[in-house]
Amino acid sequence: MTFGVIIDADHLFALPRYVSDNGVAAILRPTWDDGSGIPWKSSFHHPEGAFVVGYLAVGWRFLIPLLFWGTHVAIDEFQLATLEYSAIVESVFLGVAITGIFVLGYWRWLKLEPDGDLRQYLVHIRERVRSGLSLRPAPSPPSEGTI
């Protein structure tokens, strides 16, 4: 998540220039394109960013940042290639991702509950969401020594 999402924190460095050129109200526009032609994405959003992220991944001996950064850059490139269709493409991509997550979760749940069905899985999800949003701690299961 860090190099997949936090990478967008570099936009904050361009924020002062953008606000001074366009005003604070421009931040609330659907697009932050100021029409200046100056890119406000850092080199982290381009393949050259691999020089920094790659060295960090090797130095930390941890491949995950490189994978997340690569995925982020690939999605950026895909978005630029499909800019005129981006609303439709992003909606389809989001739908496929959500469906995939749901199907994988249902498949894993069926391994634990072989006699379960879709309705029971939806009830299970509802209860997990409720317990996750509850301010009260979840009841702990009884230990082996108690009756």
- 144 falls within a domain: no
Is-above-0.85 flag for pTM?
Answer: no
> Contact, 44 vs 109, CB < 8 A?
no
Q: How many CB atoms lie within 10 A of CB 121?
A: 16
pLDDT band at 123 (very low <50, low <70, confident <90, very high): very high
DSSP, res 36: S
- Answer whether residue 108 shows pLDDT above 90: yes
- Closest by CA to 49, choosing from 71, 18, 30, 34, is 71
In this structure, the answer to whether residues 6 and 29 fall within a common structural domain is: yes
The structure tokens listed for 133 are 């949003």
In this structure, the answer to whether residues 47 and 15 fall within a common structural domain is: yes
Helix and strand totals (H; E) in the chain: 6, 0
> What are 15-72's pLDDT values in tens digits?
777 778 777 777 666 555 555 555 556 667 777 878 888 888 887 777 877 888 888 7
CA dist 46 and 96 (Å) reads 26
pLDDT band at 106 (very low <50, low <70, confident <90, very high): very high
pLDDT computed for residue 1 by the predictor: 43
In this structure, the answer to whether residues 90 and 77 fall within a common structural domain is: no
